[in-house]
Amino acid sequence: MSASKPLDYESPHKKSAKKFILKEYIQLTAGPANFSDRVLQALSMQCLNPLSKEMHLMMDEVKAMLQYLFQTTNPLTLVNQTSGSGGNESILTNLLDPGDKLVIAVGGTWGEKVQDMAQRYGFDVLAIRKPPGEIFTVEELEAAVKSHQANLLFVTHGESSGGTLQQLEGIGPMCHKYDCLLAVDAVASMGVDPLYTDRWQLDAVCTASQKAIGSPPGLCLLTFSPRAEERIKAKKNKSPYYFDMTRQGLYFDCFVDDHSRKYHYTFSSNLLAALREALAQLCEEGLSEVWERHKRNSEYLWKKMGEIGLDCFVEKVENRFHGITCVKIPSGVDQLELLKFIKDKYDIEIAYGHGPTLNKAMRIGLLGQNSRPEVVDYLVKALKDGMEQLRKQGTN
Ligand code: PMP
């Protein structure tokens, strides 16, 4: 083919693609959260061969740090190159066959999405619901597991759409009485509120890289108990190829009887390096300290909000998630105008409501590196200024 032959389509940047300059914001939405300079640096290193010994070393380190993060000794603890939703889908499709029975405790948008996913795969779903701001008791979950004869119960730990934290203690032993497994969406709550995979007998837990962990979006982090591993092996139907935890588990060297580390797909060494750095920072600070910091700063936020006339959407303090605070929309203020004001003037992004909080509350994420008192002070100053200006405009 001649080099001068005209192409069918021309690039809009034929001569010189201009540098795309991104403005940096303080990301106080429900995620992603800002990441540290250390993570940024790790992300920018040269790529690695996904089958190289350096990559294997990084995977081993990540796996060990994940076992600490999840508080587990589960050998099947690994990373899949997808987002949190892909993690939830990996759990469902590796533990269930079509027709298997699943109870979903829906506490907001994320439970609704898991229901949608599960129905697409032909699982027999019973969804149970609570009013906004409320969480499930073990007794309520037990009644559903028993009546539906469930193979799996799926709960969301930190509900980023409604601002609640589902208590997990006691649910695992209850499920196991009925030969039911327990899966937990900890996408928003990992590294925020306490979670003990082994102590609480959780069988499958999923989180994502971009929230309190503080690395770029694109990875989900998973652990499966030996009970769950048995279920994976006993499955009659194969899991979707990309989400197959047996294949990905081989690549992450999770099985005692096969250390071939067989290739599954090209894993991004850059994303893994960034995750390794974020986890290293978390390990250096210490998990208990990280949990305590998130609690302290969210409580500080609630106090400071009260001083400027803002109320929490979740009334009961004991039901509140310490990663994302839902704030009732203040009277006389258009929430979208307020969000725009603080973004334009203060470079802060917060989120509008979703699911249970739609048109009722705004959502403020204090996740990972952003959970700091000076961030709270700056945000509260911005919100106070925004409310005053918008109310003034409203009366003019
Ligand atoms: N579950 C929860 C609790 C979440 O907060 C989110 C993301 N906001 C998800 C699942 C989905 O994660 P992702 O956007 O990474 O797919």
Could you identify the atom of ligand 1 that is nearest to the CA of residue 186?
A: 3
Whole-angstrom CA distances from 56 to 78, 144, 252, 267, 385 are 12, 43, 8, 11, 51
Q: 80 with 203: CB under 8 angstroms?
A: no
Q: Does 365 or 15 have the greater pLDDT score?
A: 365
Which segments of the chain does DSSP mark as H helices, in order?
37-43, 53-70, 84-95, 109-120, 138-148, 171-177, 226-234, 245-251, 269-285, 287-307, 335-346, 373-395
Running DSSP on this structure, what letter comes out for residue 236? S
Taking the C-alpha atoms of residue 81 and residue 69, their distance in angstroms, rounded to an integer, is 18
Q: What is the mean pLDDT of residues 134-162?
A: 98
Ligand 1 centre to CA of 27 (Å) is: 16
User: 181-185 and 164-165: which strand pairing?
Assistant: unpaired
> Residue 13 has what pLDDT?
74
**Distance, CA 357 to ligand 1 centroid (Å)?**
16
Which class for 344: exposed (0-12), middle (13-18), buried (19 or more C-beta within 10 A)?
Answer: exposed
pLDDT digits (tens, 9 = 90+) for 207-252: 999 999 999 999 999 999 999 999 999 999 999 999 999 999 999 9
State the CB neighbour count (10 A cutoff) for residue 129: 15
Structure tokens at 283: 């390990």
- Mean pLDDT (whole number) for 179-188: 98
Q: Give the nearest ligand 1 atom to 189 CA.
A: 3
Mean pLDDT in residue range 373-385: 98
How close is the Cα of 185 to the center of ligand 1, in Å? 8
Amino acid at 54: E
**Predicted pLDDT at 343:** 98
Which one of 85, 90, 91, 159 would you pick to mutate in the ligand 1 pocket, going by the greatest count of ligand atoms within 8 A of its CB? 85
The reported pLDDT for the residue numbered 396 is: 64
With a CB cutoff of 8 Å and minimum separation 6, the contacts of 309 are: 330, 387
Spell out which residues line ligand 1, taking CB within 6 angstroms. 30-31, 83-85, 110, 156, 160, 185, 187-188, 208
Atom of ligand 1 nearest to the CA of 110: 1
Is-contact 162 132, C-beta < 8 A? yes
pLDDT tops 80 at residue 12: no
In 3D space, the residue among 88, 110, 38, 64 whose CA is nearest the CA of residue 281 turns out to be 38
Maximum Cα interatomic distance, the chain, rounded to a whole number of Å:
74
Model confidence at 117, pLDDT cuts 50, 70, 90, reads very high
| pLDDT for residue 265 | 96
User: What is the average per-residue pLDDT within 244-267?
Assistant: 96
**How far is the C-alpha of 58 from the C-alpha of 151, rounded, in Å?**
35
> 110 with 207: CB under 8 angstroms?
no
Q: Is the Cα dihedral 226, 227, 228, 231 positive or negative?
A: positive
Nearest-CA residue for ligand 1 atom 14 is 84
206 and 90 Cβ atoms separated by less than 8 Å: yes
Ligand 1 atom closest to the CA of 208, numbered from 1: 15
The per-residue pLDDT for range 321-365, each reduced to its tens digit, is: 999 999 999 999 999 999 999 999 999 999 999 999 999 999 999
User: Is residue 36 a contact partner of residue 379, using CB atoms and an 8 Å limit?
Assistant: no
Instruction: Report pLDDT digits (tens) over 21-33.
Output: 889 999 999 999 9
Alpha carbon distance 223, 204 (integer Å): 6
DSSP-assigned beta bridge partners for residue 10: none
CB atoms within 10 A of CB 259: 10
Q: Which pLDDT belongs to residue 118?
A: 98
For residue 42, report the distance from its CA to the centre of ligand 1, in Å.
Answer: 24
Position 3 confidence tier, pLDDT thresholds 50, 70, 90: low
Atom number of ligand 1 nearest to Cα 108: 3
Q: Which numbered atom of ligand 1 lies nearest the CA of 161?
A: 5
User: Mean pLDDT across the chain, nearest whole number?
Assistant: 96
Pocket test for ligand 1, best of 110, 112, 113, 271 (most atoms within 8 A of CB): 110
Return the best residue to mutate from 135, 154, 187 for the ligand 1 pocket (most ligand atoms within 8 A of CB). Answer: 187
What's the one-letter identity of residue 47? C
Residue 2 has pLDDT above 70, yes or no: no
Q: What is the structure's pLDDT at 298? A: 98
pLDDT band of residue 122 (cuts 50, 70, 90) is very high
In whole angstroms, give the CA distance from residue 394 to residue 165.
36
Distance between Cα 321 and ligand 1 center (Å): 15
**Nearest atom of ligand 1 to the alpha carbon of 31:** 8
pLDDT over 70 percentage in the chain: 98
Least confident of 9-18, 300-309, 367-376: 9-18
Query: For residues 274 and 266, is the Cβ–Cβ distance under 8 A?
Result: no
158 C-alpha vs ligand 1 centroid, how far in Å? 10
Ligand 1 mean position, distance from CA 353 (Å): 14
- pLDDT of 257 > 90? The answer is yes
Higher pLDDT pick, 185 / 6: 185
Q: What is the pTM of this model?
A: 0.96
Percent of the chain residues past pLDDT 90, beyond the cut: 93
Q: Is the model's pLDDT at 15 over the cut of 90?
A: no
- The CA 396 to ligand 1 mean position distance, Å, reads 41
Instruction: Give distance in angstroms: CA of 52 to centre of ligand 1.
Output: 31
Calculate how far, in angstroms, residue 259's C-alpha sits from the geometric centre of ligand 1. 32
What is residue 21's predicted lDDT score, i.e. its pLDDT? 82
18 has a pLDDT exceeding 80: no
Convert the pLDDT of each residue in 55-111 to its tens digit: 999 999 999 999 999 999 999 999 999 999 999 999 999 999 999 999 999 999 999
pLDDT tens for each residue of 59-75? 999 999 999 999 999 99
